[in-house]
């Protein structure tokens, strides 16, 4: 009986000590979660700056494309979506296709199809691969849209684009069929045995073409910006952890 009384008497003194390490661990976890939320807020500001820069570049007055000797030193972060103009002659016999699951352009929904990428040979002999625009699946063959195969000197206005990255879900390209699944300019140039090709592509603006194809203006600015929702999620988890632990402590201390 005396031993039981001694144990009961020591219980109140044990509780504060038993909460020490849980409190430390919860505090560390809370700081970590809150820190992740703050990091996402900083990323949100960074991403909004990028989107504003893209919007500004895409609306600028077009400038002449950089000269070929400058191409090797260009940084994609400096030229992506820059509005440019260039002149030359299309090499339609070297046309390549890039599959796209949708051809939605400027609010015009469409089904799957292809972006038509054609080398434009400049006056100095160098080449720039131009994304001339979208064609539906049943117009894959160039012979089905000969009216749009412009001959002779042309001037193109559009946006500079860096090579498109692949991911683990991207299907394998079929160079023998001149079919790609990313806008991989270097790969296309190698497969077509093109020399002195720009490391970037140019997405041509929407323009009236005989036959209406390819349909220009195919650039889709899909830069995800989910940082605000991520920040709220991390902050929410931090507050939830604090609330749950507060209830836990209250119940432990409740008489």
254 confidence band (pLDDT: 50, 70, 90): confident
User: Does residue 156 come out as left (phi exceeding 0), alpha (psi in the -120 to 50 range) or beta?
Assistant: beta
Q: Which residue has the higher pLDDT, 225 or 32?
A: 32
The model's pLDDT over 172-190, given as tens digits with 9 standing for 90+, comes to: 999 999 999 999 999 999 9
Between CA 119 and CA 113 the distance in angstroms is 20
Q: Residue 113: which H helix or E strand, with range?
A: strand 113-121
- Whether the bond into 214 is cis, omega within 30 of 0: yes
Query: 183: which strand partners?
Result: none
Q: How far is CA 191 from the centre of its chain?
A: 25
CB 117 within 8 A of CB 97: yes
Q: Residue 227: which H helix or E strand, with range?
A: helix 227-253
Between CA 3 and CA 253 the distance in angstroms is 24
Between CA 248 and CA 255 the distance in angstroms is 13
pTM of the entire structure? 0.73
Domain ranges across the chain? 30-59+224-255, 60-212
Question: Which of 226, 233, 224 has the alpha carbon at shortest distance from 36?
Answer: 233
- Which CB contacts under 8 angstroms, 24+ apart, belong to 148-152? 148/209, 148/210, 148/211, 148/212, 148/213, 148/214, 149/90, 149/92, 150/90, 150/209, 150/210, 151/89, 151/90, 152/89
pLDDT for residue 11 is more than 80: no
The model's pLDDT over 196-246, given as tens digits with 9 standing for 90+, comes to: 999 999 999 988 888 888 988 888 777 778 888 998 999 999 999 999 988
The model's pLDDT over 103-145, given as tens digits with 9 standing for 90+, comes to: 766 556 678 999 999 999 999 999 999 999 999 999 999 999 9
165 confidence band (pLDDT: 50, 70, 90): confident
The model's pLDDT over 49-100, given as tens digits with 9 standing for 90+, comes to: 878 877 878 788 999 999 999 999 999 988 999 999 999 999 999 999 999 9
pLDDT of residue 53: 79
7 confidence band (pLDDT: 50, 70, 90): very low
């Amino acid at each position: 009986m005396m031993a039981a009384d001694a144990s009961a008497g020591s219980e109140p003194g044990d509780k504060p000590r038993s909460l020490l390490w849980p409190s430390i661990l919860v505090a560390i976890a809370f700081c970590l979660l809150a820190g992740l939320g703050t990091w996402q807020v900083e990323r949100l500001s960074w991403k909004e700056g990028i989107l504003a820069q893209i919007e500004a570049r895409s609306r600028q007055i077009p400038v002449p494309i950089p000269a070929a000797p400058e191409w090797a030193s260009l940084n994609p972060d400096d030229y992506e979506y820059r509005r440019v103009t260039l002149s030359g002659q299309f090499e339609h016999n070297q046309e390549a296709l890039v599959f796209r699951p949708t051809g939605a352009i400027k609010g015009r929904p469409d089904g799957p199809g292809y972006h038509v990428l054609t080398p434009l040979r400049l006056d100095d002999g160098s080449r720039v691969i131009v994304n001339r625009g979208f064609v539906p699946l049943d117009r894959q063959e160039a012979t089905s849209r000969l009216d749009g195969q412009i001959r002779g000197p042309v001037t193109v206005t559009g946006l500079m684009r860096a090579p498109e990255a692949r991911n683990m879900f991207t299907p394998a390209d079929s160079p023998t069929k001149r079919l790609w699944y990313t806008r991989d300019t270097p790969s296309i140039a190698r497969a077509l045995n093109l020399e002195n090709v720009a490391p970037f592509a140019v997405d041509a603006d929407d323009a009236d073409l005989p036959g209406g194809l390819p349909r220009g203006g195919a650039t889709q600015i899909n830069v995800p910006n989910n940082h605000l929702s991520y920040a709220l999620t991390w902050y929410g988890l931090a507050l939830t952890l604090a609330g749950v632990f507060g209830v836990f402590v209250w119940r432990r201390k409740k008489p």
